[in-house]
Amino acid sequence: KIPIRIGFPYESHPRIYRNEKGQWTGIHVDLWKLFAEPIGSSLEFAFPDFQHFGTDDPDGVNGKFVAGVMGLLQNDSIDAAMGDYTLQKGRMTSFQYTPQYDYQPMNLIRRQRVMIPSFFERIGEFISSFGVYGYVISSSLIIATSELIILDFRKVYKDMGTKTYGIKFCIVFNVFVAFTLFNAIFAGSNLLSSVQVHQETLSETLHQLSKDNATLIVRDITHLLGYANDTPSEGRITVLRTKKEVIARVCSDPNAIYFDYLRDFIEFYNGDISEDESGACNLRTVSNDINKEDKYTIGTSLGKPMPIVNYYLADRIRDKKKLAFVILGMFDADKIDSFWFPRYMGRPAMIPPDPPAEYTYTPFSLNYFVIFFALLGVGSALSVIVFLLEILWHRHRSSIVPFDLRVVCR
């Protein structure tokens, strides 16, 4: 069998460690076996003595890695290196690499744009932000409708005149409600249609990938597994290798979405891009509102996520695409929490909680007026009752014939 030699800087339970028999075991070992066995290869693990090899110097002259695990990878002593390696520019240009999976910073880059909800959605959201007052508005509209019928019926009781105080209160209150709704609609519309209305979120961008008009741009096809079930069809995936191609495509195509694991797209790409090219359009990293990367964290250290862990591969590794898909595919949130981590630790992975929801605007608050509006609603209902009692009283005084429902429903 052709061995696959893997180097790493230190043991890390439950990733890779020696068991009581002196054998290497752990999640990493299991995953490499899933890759090696189908292609007829065996595994060898190189745990270097850093007193002999020195330390890894990622910022060496001309990107040369002459020490540590990266040095072993460069001089063909090992086939792959794994460890807490960040995606630095020198490493990424010198070695093949797989995206990290313990802590996964997903970046989606596209042209700057804002998404404005429809008019009725904005009004609905604005009215719903009123809280309890929304119920008062709804009930008052029902009361107003019933009052219109009663006021129509009142025409038969001319002798009531100015003695009906309930009718006056109903009219005044409903004028107030109508005025409030009128202002809420137009003030809310202006508020929600401002420039800061709503910037596109990560979840919305991922959802767009399921639509036919979205085009996903990547530098490496192995990155796509980060999308899980949201990966678009192959016909809408474009692989662009150079920086100029990526920027030109994203700026020219409003439906183009670029995916990378780099935290800062502009910082990484500005090195070889002229001012004219970098200013072709305003690019932005889509905000990670659902904090998707935290669901890939294995354990915590002093309350913080563990460092980034990823692999660097030599070009001679066979089936690199299959390898990357195996590694990433096993480390989705469900697998880690329910299978891989409990297998070695006897407990679920400590997945950070989802962050609180982010609002694109501050809801209109009436915390100190809830009682006031509630009393108005009660008063409106009481006014209708008073008015009905007045009708009964005048019927008794005038000895008017019983109610004619045809008149009421006219």
- Give the pLDDT confidence of 105-148 residue by residue, as tens digits: 456 666 765 555 555 555 555 556 555 566 666 666 666 666 65
Domain ranges of the chain: 2-101+297-345, 108-114+199-285, 119-195+366-408
Which stretch of DSSP H or E encloses residue 145?
helix 132-153
Q: Among residues of the chain, what percentage have pLDDT more than 90?
A: 0
Cα–Cα distance measured from residue 202 to residue 107, given in angstroms and rounded to the nearest whole number: 9
Q: SS3 for 338-405, per residue?
A: HHHHHHHHCCCCCCCCCCCCCCCCCCCCCHHHHHHHHHHHHHHHHHHHHHHHHHHHHHHHHCCCCCCH
pLDDT in tens, 176-210: 666 666 655 555 555 444 434 455 655 566 566 65
Average pLDDT over residues 334-338: 60
Average pLDDT over residues 26-30: 83
Assess contact for 312 and 97: CB atoms under 8 A.
yes
Q: Is it the case that residue 334 has pLDDT exceeding 70?
A: no
What is the pLDDT confidence band of residue 335, given thresholds at 50, 70 and 90?
Answer: low
pLDDT in tens, 48-62: 654 444 444 444 433
What is the pLDDT confidence band of residue 348, given thresholds at 50, 70 and 90?
Answer: low
What is the rounded average pLDDT for all residues in the chain? 61
Average pLDDT over residues 312-319: 66
Computed on alpha carbons and rounded to an integer, the radius of gyration of the chain in Å comes to 34
Q: SS3 for 247-299, per residue?
A: HHHHHHCCCEEEEECCCCHHHHHHHHCCHHHHCCCCEEECECCCCHHHHHCCC
- What is the predicted pLDDT for the residue at 135? 67
What is the pLDDT confidence band of residue 175, given thresholds at 50, 70 and 90?
Answer: low
Distances (CA, A) of 382 to 108, 374, 390: 57, 12, 12
Cα–Cα distance measured from residue 410 to residue 405, given in angstroms and rounded to the nearest whole number: 8
What is the pLDDT confidence band of residue 363, given thresholds at 50, 70 and 90?
Answer: very low
What is the pLDDT confidence band of residue 79, given thresholds at 50, 70 and 90?
Answer: confident
Third-level CATH fold of 2-101+297-345: D-Maltodextrin-Binding Protein; domain 2 (3.40.190)
pLDDT in tens, 226-259: 443 444 555 667 778 777 788 888 888 878 877 7
Task: Calculate helix-pair angle for 370-398, 132-153, nearest 10 degrees.
Answer: 20
What is the pLDDT confidence band of residue 321, given thresholds at 50, 70 and 90?
Answer: low
Average pLDDT over residues 66-95: 69
| DSSP at 302 | T
Cα–Cα distance measured from residue 255 to residue 249, given in angstroms and rounded to the nearest whole number: 10
What is the pLDDT confidence band of residue 366, given thresholds at 50, 70 and 90?
Answer: very low
Tell whether omega for the bond before 105 is within 30 degrees of 0, i.e. cis: no
**Structure tokens given for 75:** 């001089």
- What is the predicted pLDDT for the residue at 43? 87
Average pLDDT over residues 281-310: 42
